[in-house]
Amino acid sequence: MGAEEVADVLGVATAAPVPREAGRRRSLRVLLHNAAAALAVLAAWQAATFIVHSVFFPSPWQVARAFVDLALNGDVAGHTLLTHMAWSMARLAAGFLMGVVLGVPLGLLMGLYRPLYAGTRAALEPFRFIPPIAWIPLTIVLLSGFPRYVFLIWLGAFFPIFVATLVGVPRVEPIHKNVAKVHGAGRWYILRKVVVPSVLPDILGGMRVGMGTAWMTIVAAEMSGGETTGLGRMMVNYAELIRIPEIVVGMILIGVLGFAMNELLLRIERRLFRWRWEVTL
Amino acid sequence: MRAGGEKVVVDVTQRFGDLVVLDHLRFSIAANEFVCVLGKSGCGKTTVANLLAGLLPCSEGTVTIDGVPTDPRRHELAFVFQEPSLWPWRTVRDNIRIGLEIKRVPTPELERRVAEMIELVGLRGFEAYYPYQISGGMKQRVAIARAFAVDADLILMDEPFAALDEQTRHGMQAEVLRIWERKKTTVVFVTHNLEEAIYLAERIIVLTEKPARIKASLDVELPRPRDYAHPGFIALRKRLGELMGSAW
C-alpha cells in the first residue's frame, strides 16, 4: 500500500495530491472554455463589422491578412513582424532582468536593515511615483537607442519588484528563523534558507506586476522614436499612413505576448510553490 | 536529583524592562534526565525554555551546559515549539534534516540519521509530503524527529502538544517517551498540564507565579508506562494541584 492510500485510510492527510487523470481532464475543460471565449470575442468583432461599414474599422479578416503580410513581407522599411517582436522582447528582457537583479537584493537588504530604508525613503520613494512614461522626454535628450529603452523598462520593473521584496521580509515567521538559530545557524544560512524561500512568493508576485509595467513602458518608449524597430514603432509608422489593420495587429500582439509572459511566470510560480495552499493569481 | 552529574545548570534572574519574570531561578539537570517544568500560563515557562536554548540572553546570571554558557553554535540544542514550526517549503524529509544540515553532518551519516528518525516516528511513506498535506499530529512528529535527529545535549519542548486533541496528545506523549528511552537525551519539557508532567517526567520542577521562583522539585518514581488510575499517580496529582493553587 502506498503512502497516499495509507493516508486515505487513516484520514490523516488533509490534502492528498490530486490524481493526475482528474487534473488533466479539468485543465482540458478550462482550455476549451478559454478557446470558446476567445472565439466569441472574434465573432462579436466580425458581427460588428457587418453593422459598421467604415475604412477605419477593419474586420478580423483584414487584420489577419495584414498579419500575414507583415510576417512574411515586412513593413514599409522591410522589417518583418518577427524583427519588431524580437527587438521589443530583447529590450524588455534586458530592462526587466536589471530590475530583478537590482530590486531583489536591494529589497532584501532594506527589508533586513529597516533603518537603511527608514533613513532613505524620502529620497527613494518619490521616484516610485514618477511614471516611467514621464521619464521619456528626459531620456530622449540624455540617452539613445538600446540603453534608453533598457533604462525606461528598468524604471517600470524595478519598483514593483523592490517594494514586493521589501514588504515581504518582515513577514518571515520568527519561529522559522528560531528553528535555525537553535541549531546554531548563522545569518547567511538564515538568509538563504529561511528568508529567501519565505519571501520568494512575494518576489514572484512583484515580478509579475513589474512585467506588466515594463511591457506598458516598452511600447510607449518605442513610440517616442529613435529606432526603426519595435512593435510600438511599427504601430506609429502605420498610424502615420492611416493603415488601421496593421495597427490592430500590433495591439493584438502586445496583448497576446504580455499574456504569454504572465502565464510563463505563473507556471514558474506554481512549480516553485507546490508547498503552498493558496494558488496565487 | 539522580546520579549523572549536573549537565545543565540554571541560575538566572530575567527582566524585561522593569518586569521581573524569573527571580533567582536556580536548578540543575542531570545528563539524560527528563525534567518537566510546570507552571501556570504566563508564569515565565517559555522564558525558561528560551534561555536554555540560547534564544534569549540572560539579563542576570547564567545557563551553562557542561560548564559552558549555553550557545547554539557550541552545543547541540533542539527545540520543539508549540506553534507550527515546520518550514512549509520543505518536505517532511528535508525538515528533519535542518539541524544536521546546519551542523554540517556528512551526507551519508545525515541520510542515515534522517531515515532512522522517519522510521522511529512512524512517518515512512510520508517523506516527500509537504507540511500542508499532513495532519497536526504528524507535523509535531516531524518536529520531534527533527529535534531527536541531532545528538542533542539538550532538547527543549515548550508545550508541544497543547494544540493537539486529547487522544492525539496521549499518543504523542507515549511516543516521546519511547524515543527518549531509545536515544537517551536530556529533555526539558515545559507544560501547564499536571497529568502530562506526571506521565512524562522523572522530575517535576514547579514554578510559582510571576516573578517565577521554584516552588517545589518532585521526583516521580512511578513505574512506566504510567497509569492515570494508579493510586500513586492520583496522589501526586493531588499534591501538585495543591502546590499550584486553588485554580487547579
Is pLDDT of A281 > 90?
no
**Domain range list for chain A:** 63-272
Mean pLDDT (whole number) for A256-260: 92
Is pLDDT of A279 > 50?
no
Cell numbers at residue A120, please? Answer: 532613505
Q: How confident is the model at residue A62 (pLDDT cuts 50, 70, 90)?
A: very high
User: Which residue in B98, B129, B134 is closest to A179 by CB distance?
Assistant: B98
Asked if residue B169 and residue B61 are part of one domain, the reply reads yes
pLDDT of residue A219: 84
- Distance separating alpha carbons of residues A163 and A151, to the nearest angstrom: 18
Does the beta-carbon distance from A13 to B85 stay under 8 Å? no
B179 touches chain A (CB under 8 A): no
Asked if residue B173 and residue B140 are part of one domain, the reply reads no
Asked if residue B28 and residue B64 are part of one domain, the reply reads yes
Helix (H) or strand (E) holding A111: helix A81-112
The model carries a pTM of 0.84
Residue B80 lies in a domain: no
Instruction: Provide the ipTM.
Output: 0.92
* Average pLDDT of every residue of chain B: 92
Does the beta-carbon distance from A178 to B85 stay under 8 Å? yes
Asked if residue B181 and residue B138 are part of one domain, the reply reads no
Residue finishing a domain among B99, B129, B151: B151
* Average pLDDT of every residue of chain A: 87
- Distance separating alpha carbons of residues A134 and B213, to the nearest angstrom: 66
CA distance A176 to chain B (A): 6
Does the beta-carbon distance from B87 to A181 stay under 8 Å? no
Quick: pLDDT tens for A23-60. Answer: 788 889 999 999 999 999 999 999 999 888 888 899 99
Phi/psi-derived region of residue B218, left when phi > 0, alpha when psi is between -120 and 50, beta in every other case? beta
Residue finishing a domain among B151, B176, B194: B151
Residue B113 lies in a domain: yes
Asked if residue B182 and residue B120 are part of one domain, the reply reads no
Range of the domain at B116: 85-151
pLDDT of residue A277: 57
Residue B235 lies in a domain: yes
CA distance A179 to chain B (A): 7
Give the CA diameter of chain A.
76
Does the beta-carbon distance from B102 to A180 stay under 8 Å? yes
pLDDT of residue A19: 59
CA distance B154 to chain A (A): 11
Q: Which residues in chain A are contacts of B69 at CB distance < 8 A?
A: none
pLDDT of residue A22: 76
Number of compact structural domains in chain B: 2
pLDDT of residue B97: 96
pLDDT of residue A223: 85
Residue B162 lies in a domain: yes
CA distance B238 to chain A (A): 36
Closest C-alpha to B208, from B36, B51, B22: B22
Does the beta-carbon distance from A184 to B102 stay under 8 Å? yes
Q: Which residues in chain A are contacts of B128 at CB distance < 8 A?
A: 3
- Distance separating alpha carbons of residues A57 and A55, to the nearest angstrom: 5
Asked if residue B226 and residue B159 are part of one domain, the reply reads yes
User: Which residue in A182, A273, A275 is closest to B55 by CB distance?
Assistant: A182
Asked if residue B178 and residue B224 are part of one domain, the reply reads yes
User: Which residue in B72, B129, B137 is closest to A181 by CB distance?
Assistant: B72
Q: Which residues in chain B are contacts of A197 at CB distance < 8 A?
A: 87, 89
Asked if residue B161 and residue B50 are part of one domain, the reply reads yes
Mean pLDDT (whole number) for A196-217: 93
B115 touches chain A (CB under 8 A): no
Residue B184 lies in a domain: yes
Does the beta-carbon distance from A14 to B130 stay under 8 Å? no
Mean pLDDT (whole number) for A139-145: 88
Does the beta-carbon distance from B98 to A180 stay under 8 Å? yes
Does the beta-carbon distance from A179 to B85 stay under 8 Å? yes
Is pLDDT of A13 > 50?
no
Asked if residue B90 and residue B61 are part of one domain, the reply reads no
CATH of the domain at B43: 3.40.50.300
pLDDT of residue B66: 93
Quick: pLDDT tens for B84-104. Answer: 999 999 999 999 999 999 999
In SS3 terms, chain B reads as CCCCCCCEEEEEEEEECCEEEEEEEEEEECCCCEEEEECCCCCCHHHHHHHHCCCCCCCEEEEEECCEECCCCCCCEEEECCCCCCCCCCCHHHHHCHHHHHCCCCHHHHHHHHHHHHHHCCCCCCCCCCHHHCCHHHHHHHHHHHHHHCCCCEEEEECCCCCCCHHHHHHHHHHHHHHHHHHCCCEEEEECCHHHHHHHCCEEEEECCCCECEEEEEECCCCCCCCCCCHHHHHHHHHHHHHHCCCC
Asked if residue B171 and residue B144 are part of one domain, the reply reads no
Q: How confident is the model at residue A216 (pLDDT cuts 50, 70, 90)?
A: confident
pLDDT of residue A26: 85
Asked if residue B66 and residue B162 are part of one domain, the reply reads yes
Mean pLDDT (whole number) for A251-276: 89
pLDDT of residue A12: 41
pLDDT of residue A11: 38
Residue B101 lies in a domain: yes
Asked if residue B161 and residue B145 are part of one domain, the reply reads no
Among B residues 148-167, those touching chain A with beta carbons less than 8 Å apart = 150, 156
Is pLDDT of A8 > 60?
no
Chain B interface mutation, best of A179, A188, A191, highest count of B Cβ atoms under 10 Å: A179
Quick: pLDDT tens for A123-134. Answer: 999 999 999 889
pLDDT tens, per residue, chain B with 248 residues: 444 578 999 999 999 999 999 999 999 999 999 999 999 888 889 999 999 999 999 999 999 999 999 999 999 999 999 999 999 999 999 999 999 999 999 999 999 999 999 999 999 999 999 999 999 999 999 999 999 999 999 999 999 999 899 999 999 999 999 999 999 999 999 999 999 999 999 999 999 988 899 999 999 999 999 999 999 999 999 999 999 875 44
Quick: pLDDT tens for B38-56. Answer: 998 888 899 999 999 999 9
Give the residue carrying C-alpha cell 522530575.
B203
Domain A63-272, CATH class in plain words: mainly alpha
Q: Which residues in chain B are contacts of A6 at CB distance < 8 A?
A: 125
pLDDT of residue A9: 39
Q: Which residues in chain A are contacts of B53 at CB distance < 8 A?
A: 182
